[in-house]
A and B are shown apart, each in its own frame.
Chain A
Amino acid sequence: MRYLRTLAVTWLSACSLVAIAGQPQAAAPAAEPEKFFTEQVRPILEKRCWECHGQDVQESSLRLDSQQGLTAGGSSGRSLTNVAQPDESYLWEVLQHGGSVAMPPDDKLPDSELTVLHEWIKLGLPWPGASSPSAVPATREERYALQRQQHWALQKISDPALPPVQNAQWVAQPLDYYILARLESHGLTPSLPADRRTLIRRLKFDLLGLPPTIDEVQAFVNDTSADAYEKLVERYLASPHYGERWGRHWLDVARYADTRGYAFDRERRYPYAYTYRDYVIRAFNEDLPYDQFILQQLAADQLCSEPNDPNLAALGFLTVGRKFNNRHLDIDDQIDAVGRGVLGLTISCARCHDHKYDPIPTEDYYSLYGVFASSKEPDEFPIIGDPTQTPGYAEFKQELDRRQAELDNFVETKRDEIAQAARRHAADYLARAITRESEESLILQPFIGLKGEEFKPRLVQRWREQLVRTAKADHPVLGPLYELALIPDEEYTTKAPTVLERWQAVVTGTEPGQLNPHVKEALQREPPHTKLDLARVYGQLLSSLYLQQQEASPAATESPSAAATAAAPFDTATVQVVEILTGPSGLTDIALSETRSLLTRADGNTYRELERKVQSFQVDSPGSPPRAMVIREDDKPHNPHVFIRGDHARPGKEVPRQFLLALAGFERKPFEQGSGRLELARLIASPDNPLTARVIANRIWMHHFSMPLVSTPSDFGTRSDPPVQADLLDHLATCLIQHKWSLKSLHRTILSSSTYRQASLTRAECAAVDPENMLYWRMNPHRLEFEPMRDAMLAVASQLDLTSGGRPAELTKEPFSLRRAVYGYIDRQDLPGLFRVFDVASPDQSCPARSRTTVPQQALFVMNSPFAMECAKQVVARTEIVSVAEVHPRIEAIYRLVFARSPSAEELRVGEEFIAAASQETAPEGHPDAWQQYAQLLLMSNAFLFVD
């Protein structure tokens, strides 16, 4: 059953829905009150009531999540279970929205739900399980404590005792005991060892994702030394192609892609995602201990001392996910990748409410949220390694600087334009800052000069704040404005003249307490009758003096930066007024960094275009040095609040940043260092963590046997089935930890077992007992995934380019890259049809295991694609083929290339017949001839695609 579930999640789900379809629509309430309650009533209560009348919140002191709560009632003092007639029940009254209290508060429940509740009330509000409360934990905490004690995956890992077996000489590794004991207890025997040809093909695809050559096969077959197999294992584990194969398995978990997702007209590509991919490949090749691997992926920024440490690229694990243009969802993606990918826990389920099954309160989700929300991607990713080592770096840098300067100049020009416009039309901003006039009426004022997008609403707030800071009663320029603006609107006409009169009597000058002569003159000439008028008079004064000054000495006023240095030929009074506009932190001192948000739509488009020119160049230029997609801690860590129902607009209680209750227990302590991300990483990568080692051991096993021990590789929660071979899993996890988290040593353990080396042929007597091979009485034959299939096609055609690392290559568009598939460009927004058709992992979420579907589009690819045709052509173009003229030996030669063996007599006959028939027609120039057609059908064959 497990086999089925992993291989055909789809099918099972589809089946279960059909199964449901066969059942009656609803449980008959009276006959099956329990079913009626759990299937129909409880979901309504949960959906509609518990948010306010449940465990966390008890509005009106009412709880509706237990029978006791119902009986007790709420602050109304009316019990809800005291019912004689349903229609008279208080509960019903409230639900009807008839009386003073109406629930739910917004809308009445839909009729369908009311009908159910009415029925429930009529039955006397039965609450199954209520009679034996001891069976069910009363509180959330009790349930969690119980699950922590009981759920298999949360128990400490220890190496289980070896079970006794009869056929002890079969055992090659301790792990074989667990397998063999179970086989024997079912009366089964393991299969014979696979022959060497089968074994080397299995091993090389398994470890390297590549087909063995005929020479390799023959050397292994002829190697008579006792440790021939072990030597082979070592050789493959030491190959640089091992990391390409196993790194790809991890990239499935890490939802790796080279693009951010939908980006409208911005740069979609992640220029440096490849550095994470290469980091992963290198980590596998170097056998970086798995605990270090996890630590680096979660907190390399805090572990690397050098700013250009290549290991910084590890943080790509947190940053290569889809970007949603929504910070909360970006963080959710990080929590999910860590949760399911590393811990095998569906933590994201606790985003809107407590986890429904696992001991993960919603608070824990937000504790982790706080950790990840306390770090951000920097504006610019750090270069890793020595950039001058990148060929073409100097030219790259020059051109990049030129493009960057173009962008910077544009921003500066626009900033100055915006600032100048605001200075020339100071009244426009003052009017908005100090009056409460509506936009509609302001637009009609003749003095308003800025039209449409020229006016920047975002600047108004700055003017307000600036005025609050500078305008004081004794300010020689702003004093009158300050006093007049403070008069309530309706009293302005009566009170303003007195104020103005008083100011006219103040001594002129530029010292505090005096009145600037320009201001005095302006207010005398045009005493403002309204606040709007006040804004106009002041604004026009500011603008006119600014313009005067600018005409006389443009440099002094052109830009805020120049103002300080230029000599001022003006009197102090003028300078004092103008500086209110242009001085440092004056009303129009706009920072370059805020310019972008002030651009018009058209300028915004230009900005994005220039920005994209910079970014695309970094992506495309071969001289662009590699950078790490890091995150960095904020100076001040984020104090997380629970978002009620996951809605960030509804923050609930504050929670500490700390580790999961499920793993750290009730005695856990909040994190202390910064965001706590490093502390979190250490707790995850700890040998005491019961999940981390089990989860990765299960993944490793899954890839060796095409079948996991735990059928849900990214969910070890309470809904996962305990593995049949739980002892084996714990043994593997123990081995891993004992061997200092070396994955290669775990491979060795598994590969040298007798279990792994079994033949894959089916055996009727075993299939009758265990058709899905849950007991491992044979090796599972399996189909190659997309990457090894494609790479093998290129390999047998001698076309495969084995260069490692670097920028992604285009696999699906001509000219096809000949690099290994792991280096293929993955656009998550437009995943090539080919990848989907062949079940390549979706890069949108961490992928526990790939689907395995068989659909005709897969066949069409090998039958018709230019790629497949080209591979076939190249196979027969090889000298060892071309040099053989006779049909029979040529078929032999092709078999040696494609299958690394000779054909059987029947295979030979099929080949000869095909060549004879196909050769009767002459292929038009450039069309595939009989041999090419033949080579292609061999590439299409099951013998090529399946591994025994």
Chain B
Amino acid sequence: MPSPRPQLPITRRELLRRAGTGLGMLGMAGLLADAGYLDQMVAAEEGYRNPLAPREPHFPAKAKHVIHLFMNGGPSHVDTFDPKPALEKYAGQNLPMENLRTERKTGAAFPSPYKFGKYGESGIEVSEIFAQTAQHIDDIAVIRSMQAEVPNHEPSLLLMNCGASVQVRPSVGSWLTYGLGTDNQNLPGFIAMCPGGYPIQETQNWQAAFLPGVYQGTYIDTRHEEVEKLVENIKNPALSLEQQRRQLDALAALNQLHSQQRGHDPALESRIHSFELAYRMQLEATDAFDVSREPKEVLDAYGPGVQARQILIARRLVERGVRFVQVWHGAGQPWDNHDDLEVNHRNLAGQCDKAIGALLSDLKRLGLLDETLVIWGGEFGRTPTVELPQAGANAGKINGRDHNHYGFTVWLAGGGVKGGQVYGATDEFGFKAVVDPVPVHDLHATIMKLMGFDHTRLTYRFAGRDFRLTDVFGNVVDQLIA
């Protein structure tokens, strides 16, 4: 029995009226014609059927997907992308300025234990621990003047992800899937990967808040390698695909009988259709998460380990049309090196540097870099001064850095970003952003712009207010955009 072709269950009048509510009907029709298959036919009458159908943003934009590499815990900018030779001069001594107040007490200047080198035509300096990433520096815009609001993980994570440090607000990924839908209905539109468990603040980092639940990030524990452990209910534990096909065909026949008696209610039709989507999703998701299908040279380029695997998965996902992929470094806060920073930062960077380099090459090779915005960063940076020892905190060691929200680095690449530039600067020692500071709201406004939205106009009415990602803040940093 063939799978059923749902009829287009709406009248022309209804179609036009809905278009009248604002849908660019011509645009949608074009899209239907392009796609040329059922999903989009159903999407056309959309009313309440497929909230994830692709939609056009406010204005044309290059970026269509986002890969957010989240170095949770707070990577040290002075050890990665913001060299501060002046720290050498004061090594072991107090800085000639008062240490800014952070979460814990810090003491003397702590020069980076790593060497920096100049890369690319732009000659931007990058630390040796990100030497592979640095090969792409001419595609990267390094924002050295990021600012968050407080030196604590929880509020800063929420700020970076959801634009508000305490209240419950939708995450960037949720806003973008709400605004744009997603290109591949056989995969979730917004995926958050984190090996071994949740980061601090847990699923709030990818929450939909008051947006409908479909815009929430789907969490994937990339510690697992088998696809059925990655995506909930993606595979039947006992039935083969053939058995399932037979089951779905019989189901479709019964549903058609049911539907015929009821005059083809769109709600019935769209549920019928959702089983076909689900069936395809099983195949597609299995494929997307199975990196073993990559040629050996690609696997080698990304290198071994879970970071490499999940970064490669991220590439496979955007290649398949997933809108927003967040790649968290690990459960808890791996980059939070209050002690043993030299060893730990080297290890952490070592786990992902090669894969990030490979990701950028790969996206370029596949022609995807232009339409994929890659974001690298944490919730804040770290102090240029050493954290003073405290029992129960840093095991009494004096070789780490405290949190620093006054100034830190985030970089952007691809997706219409003007690469090969450094934007903004911290002070001589890297304590505070002093040139062109970029508050997180401005970063969000800029990401929105890169994705084709005016951040002040992508709103959602809830509880009597038109909410937006940037609340009442946010200025686009136009210099970052090509």
Question: Chain A interface (Cβ within 8 Å of chain B)?
Answer: 4, 7-22, 47, 110, 262, 264, 322, 324-326, 329, 336, 340, 346, 348-349, 355, 357-358, 452-453, 600-605, 714-715, 717, 719, 760-762, 764, 768, 771, 781-783, 829-831, 833-840, 842, 844-846, 851-861, 863-866, 869, 904, 906-907, 910-911, 913-914, 917-918, 921, 926-928, 933-934, 936-938, 940-943, 945-946, 948
B51, chain A: closest CB distance, angstroms: 5
By a CB distance below 8 angstroms, the chain B residues around A863 are 233, 236, 244, 247-248, 275, 278-279
Given contacts A605-B392, A943-B258, 6 further A-B pairs with CB under 8 A are A10-B178, A329-B166, A835-B213, A854-B273, A914-B250, A937-B250
By a CB distance below 8 angstroms, the chain A residues around B347 are none
Would A19 and B254 be within 8 Å (CB), given that A7-B47, A854-B49 are in contact? no
Docked-complex contact B475 and A601, CB < 8 angstroms: no
Q: How far is the CA of A280 from the CA of B152 in the complex (A)?
A: 38
Stretch in B261-269, B299-307, B421-429 touching the partner: B261-269
Docked-complex contact A18 and B47, CB < 8 angstroms: no
Would A942 and B258 be within 8 Å (CB), given that A859-B275, A918-B243 are in contact? yes
By a CB distance below 8 angstroms, the chain A residues around B203 are 829-831
Docked-complex contact A852 and B48, CB < 8 angstroms: yes
Q: How far is the CA of A906 from the CA of B254 in the complex (A)?
A: 8
B77, chain A: closest CB distance, angstroms: 25
Stretch in B17-25, B109-117, B141-149, B370-378 touching the partner: B17-25
Chain A, Cβ-Cβ closest to B50:
A854
Docked-complex contact B275 and A940, CB < 8 angstroms: yes
Q: Tally B residues with Cβ within 8 Å of A.
A: 103
Docked-complex contact A771 and B11, CB < 8 angstroms: yes
Would A829 and B281 be within 8 Å (CB), given that A262-B154, A336-B463, A857-B233 are in contact? no
Q: How far is the CA of A754 from the CA of B281 in the complex (A)?
A: 44
Docked-complex contact B250 and A844, CB < 8 angstroms: no
Chain A, Cβ-Cβ closest to B28:
A18
Would A110 and B391 be within 8 Å (CB), given that A781-B267, A854-B267 are in contact? no
Docked-complex contact A21 and B274, CB < 8 angstroms: no
By a CB distance below 8 angstroms, the chain B residues around A13 are 178, 459-461
Would A262 and B392 be within 8 Å (CB), given that A14-B179, A856-B277 are in contact? no
Docked-complex contact A453 and B250, CB < 8 angstroms: no
- Write 18 A-B pairs (CB below 8 A) sorted by A numbering: A7-B48, A8-B51, A11-B46, A17-B458, A18-B22, A18-B56, A19-B21, A20-B22, A453-B391, A782-B267, A836-B208, A844-B168, A845-B210, A853-B213, A854-B50, A854-B270, A864-B233, A943-B258
Q: How far is the CA of A840 from the CA of B216 in the complex (A)?
A: 13
Question: Could you tell me which residues of chain B, from 13 to 38, have a CB within 8 Å of some CB in chain A?
Answer: 13-14, 18, 21-24, 27
By a CB distance below 8 angstroms, the chain B residues around A604 are 392
For A329, A829, A842, which residue has the most chain B Cβ atoms within 10 angstroms? A842
Chain A, Cβ-Cβ closest to B285:
A860
Q: How far is the CA of A853 from the CA of B274 in the complex (A)?
A: 11
Q: How far is the CA of A930 from the CA of B254 in the complex (A)?
A: 17
Would A262 and B275 be within 8 Å (CB), given that A9-B461, A854-B270, A906-B257 are in contact? no
Chain A, Cβ-Cβ closest to B463:
A346
Q: Does B212 contact A (CB under 8 A)?
A: yes
Chain A, Cβ-Cβ closest to B10:
A771
Taking a contact as CB atoms closer than 8 A, the residue among A10, A348, A601, A603 that contacts B463 in the complex is A348
Q: How far is the CA of A715 from the CA of B458 in the complex (A)?
A: 21
A239, chain B: closest CB distance, angstroms: 28
Q: Does B106 contact A (CB under 8 A)?
A: no
Would A21 and B57 be within 8 Å (CB), given that A8-B47, A329-B166, A918-B243 are in contact? yes
Taking a contact as CB atoms closer than 8 A, the residue among A15, A47, A322, A326 that contacts B23 in the complex is A15
Q: Does B97 contact A (CB under 8 A)?
A: no
Map CB proximity to A onto B228-244 as digits: 1 under 8 Å, 0 otherwise: 00001111111100011
By a CB distance below 8 angstroms, the chain B residues around A833 are 218-219, 232
Chain A, Cβ-Cβ closest to B169:
A844
Map CB proximity to A onto B280-299 as digits: 1 under 8 Å, 0 otherwise: 01100000000000000000
Q: Does B361 contact A (CB under 8 A)?
A: no
By a CB distance below 8 angstroms, the chain A residues around B181 are 14
Taking a contact as CB atoms closer than 8 A, the residue among A858, A859, A933 that contacts B243 in the complex is A933
Q: Does B211 contact A (CB under 8 A)?
A: yes
By a CB distance below 8 angstroms, the chain A residues around B51 are 8, 10-11, 14, 851, 853, 855
Question: Could you tell me which residues of chain B, from 448 to 482, have a CB within 8 Å of some CB in chain A?
Answer: 453, 457-465, 472, 475
Q: Does B272 contact A (CB under 8 A)?
A: yes
B60, chain A: closest CB distance, angstroms: 10
By a CB distance below 8 angstroms, the chain A residues around B235 are 864
Q: Does B389 contact A (CB under 8 A)?
A: yes
A768, chain B: closest CB distance, angstroms: 8
By a CB distance below 8 angstroms, the chain B residues around A907 are 254, 257
Q: How far is the CA of A51 from the CA of B271 in the complex (A)?
A: 51
Taking a contact as CB atoms closer than 8 A, the residue among B236, B262, B392, B459 that contacts A761 in the complex is B262
Would A910 and B250 be within 8 Å (CB), given that A11-B46, A856-B186 are in contact? yes
Would A933 and B247 be within 8 Å (CB), given that A18-B24, A942-B258 are in contact? yes
Docked-complex contact A860 and B272, CB < 8 angstroms: no
By a CB distance below 8 angstroms, the chain B residues around A836 are 208, 213-214, 216
Taking a contact as CB atoms closer than 8 A, the residue among B236, B247, B271 that contacts A945 in the complex is B271
By a CB distance below 8 angstroms, the chain B residues around A852 are 48
Taking a contact as CB atoms closer than 8 A, the residue among B52, B219, B247, B278 that contacts A936 in the complex is B247
Docked-complex contact B391 and A829, CB < 8 angstroms: no
Q: How far is the CA of A896 from the CA of B479 in the complex (A)?
A: 68
By a CB distance below 8 angstroms, the chain A residues around B237 are 864, 866, 869
B187, chain A: closest CB distance, angstroms: 9
A684, chain B: closest CB distance, angstroms: 18
Q: How far is the CA of A913 from the CA of B247 in the complex (A)?
A: 11
Taking a contact as CB atoms closer than 8 A, the residue among A17, A324, A600, A946 that contacts B392 in the complex is A600
Q: Does B393 contact A (CB under 8 A)?
A: yes
By a CB distance below 8 angstroms, the chain A residues around B122 are none
Docked-complex contact A845 and B463, CB < 8 angstroms: yes
Q: Does B399 contact A (CB under 8 A)?
A: no
Q: How far is the CA of A12 from the CA of B273 in the complex (A)?
A: 22
Q: How far is the CA of A809 from the CA of B369 in the complex (A)?
A: 47
B104, chain A: closest CB distance, angstroms: 10
Docked-complex contact B250 and A452, CB < 8 angstroms: no
A357, chain B: closest CB distance, angstroms: 8
Q: How far is the CA of A193 from the CA of B324 in the complex (A)?
A: 49
B336, chain A: closest CB distance, angstroms: 13
Q: Does B58 contact A (CB under 8 A)?
A: yes
Q: How far is the CA of A601 from the CA of B104 in the complex (A)?
A: 12
Docked-complex contact B268 and A946, CB < 8 angstroms: yes
For A13, A768, A854, A865, which residue has the most chain B Cβ atoms within 10 angstroms? A854
A261, chain B: closest CB distance, angstroms: 8
Would A853 and B234 be within 8 Å (CB), given that A7-B48, A21-B58 are in contact? no
Chain A, Cβ-Cβ closest to B267:
A783
Q: How far is the CA of A16 from the CA of B49 in the complex (A)?
A: 17
Taking a contact as CB atoms closer than 8 A, the residue among A782, A855, A941 that contacts B52 in the complex is A855
Chain B, Cβ-Cβ closest to A917:
B246
Chain B, Cβ-Cβ closest to A844:
B168
Would A601 and B233 be within 8 Å (CB), given that A346-B464, A859-B277 are in contact? no
Docked-complex contact B271 and A783, CB < 8 angstroms: yes
By a CB distance below 8 angstroms, the chain A residues around B56 are 18, 21
By a CB distance below 8 angstroms, the chain B residues around A846 are 463
Q: Does B435 contact A (CB under 8 A)?
A: no
Taking a contact as CB atoms closer than 8 A, the residue among B166, B213, B259 that contacts A942 in the complex is B259
For B14, B204, B233, B262, which residue has the most chain A Cβ atoms within 10 angstroms? B233
Chain A, Cβ-Cβ closest to B19:
A15
B297, chain A: closest CB distance, angstroms: 34
By a CB distance below 8 angstroms, the chain A residues around B50 are 854-855
Q: How far is the CA of A937 from the CA of B248 in the complex (A)?
A: 7
Q: How far is the CA of A348 from the CA of B463 in the complex (A)?
A: 8
By a CB distance below 8 angstroms, the chain A residues around B389 are 452
B134, chain A: closest CB distance, angstroms: 34
Taking a contact as CB atoms closer than 8 A, the residue among A349, A851, A854 that contacts B213 in the complex is A851
By a CB distance below 8 angstroms, the chain B residues around A4 are 18, 21, 47-48
